[in-house]
Amino acid sequence: MQALILVDIQNDFCSGGALAVPGGDEIIPVVNALQQKFKLVAATRDWHPPGHVSFASTHGRKPGEVITVNGVEQVLWPDHCVQHTWGAEFAPGLETTGIAREFTKGSDPHIDSYSGFFDNQRLRSTGLENFLRDRKVEKIYIAGLATNVCVMYTALDGVLLGFDTVVIEDACRGVELEPGDVDRALERMRAGKVRLYSSRELLK
C-alpha cells in the first residue's frame, strides 16, 4: 500500500501568510492532481498555541535567530499556524475531501515539531506512523511545505521508520534563511535514502 502525505499546506506558509514560503501556492494544483492517484491521503498541520517556543516574539527576539532551549537548538520564526486561526487553516484551493486523516503537530508550548511523525525531542509521536502501519503502507510520497523544514524532517523520519520514502520535489517549496538551504536539504535527503521524484513521473 502507498500513501500520499501532505505536509503543512496551510495559509501561513502560502502568500499572505505569516511565514510565507516563496511559491508555496504553486504546489496546490500539483498536489490536487497527485491526490487523484492515491487511495490513501493523510495530512499534517502545524498547530501551535499562542506563545509557542518557536516564535521569536515569545523570547523578545527576531525571526531567523537561533537560541538554545533546554539544550535543544531552536530556530525562531514569526508567529505562525496559531491553533484555530486563519493561518493554521488548510490553504484555500487545497482539495481536502480526500484526506483520510489529519495529524497536528507542534501543540506542546515548549517543544517544536518539524517532522510529521515525532516532535523535535522525539518524546511524542503524532500517530502518523501507526496510522500508516495499520493500513499496511510501505511506501510514502511526501508533498508540501517547507522543503527544507517539515518536509525534510518528515522524510528523514520516514526512512528511519523503514518506509520507502519519496519526496515529490516540485510538489514542495522551501524557505531559505540562508541562500542554498533548499539545495542542502535536498542533498541531505538524498544522503538519507529519500528518493526525489518529479510529479510528472506520477501524473502520466
Using CB under 6 A as the binding rule, whether residue 119 contacts ligand VGL is answered as no
Element (H, E) at 30: helix 27-35
Considering only 30, 146, 168, 185, the residue that binds ligand VGL (CB under 6 A) is 146
Using CB under 6 A as the binding rule, whether residue 20 contacts ligand VGL is answered as no
130 SS3 class: helix
Distance CA 131, CA 163 (A): 13
Concerning whether 150 is annotated as a catalytic residue, the answer is yes
Binding mask 79-118 for ligand VGL (x = CB under 6 A): ----------------------------------------
Rounded to a whole number of angstroms, the minimum distance from the CB of residue 71 to Zn ion is 20
Considering only 14, 41, 149, 185, the residue that binds ligand VGL (CB under 6 A) is 149
**Which of ligand VGL, Zn ion, none sits in contact with 150, Cβ below 5 to 8 A by type?**
ligand VGL
Stretch that binds ligand VGL, among 23-31, 92-100, 133-141, 142-150 (CB under 6 A): 142-150
Q: Report how far Cα 35 is from the mean position of its chain's Cα atoms.
A: 16
Distance CA 204, CA 190 (A): 24
**Contacting Zn ion within 28-57 (CB under 5 A):** 46
Considering only 47, 55, 77, 163, the residue that binds ligand VGL (CB under 6 A) is 77
Concerning whether 105 is annotated as a catalytic residue, the answer is yes
Distance CA 156, CA 136 (A): 19
Using CB under 5 A as the binding rule, whether residue 25 contacts Zn ion is answered as no
Tell me how far apart the terminal alpha carbons of the chain are, to the nearest angstrom: 20
Cβ neighbors of 65 (< 8 A, separation 6 or more) are 56, 75, 76
Distance CA 42, CA 40 (A): 7
- The set of cell numbers assigned to 58 is 515569545
Contact 42, 6 (CB under 8 A): yes
Concerning whether 14 is annotated as a catalytic residue, the answer is no
Of 46 and 119, the one with the shorter C-beta distance to ligand VGL is: 46
Residues found near ligand VGL in the complex (CB under 6 A): 8, 46, 54, 77, 145-146, 149-150
Residues found near Zn ion in the complex (CB under 5 A): 46, 106
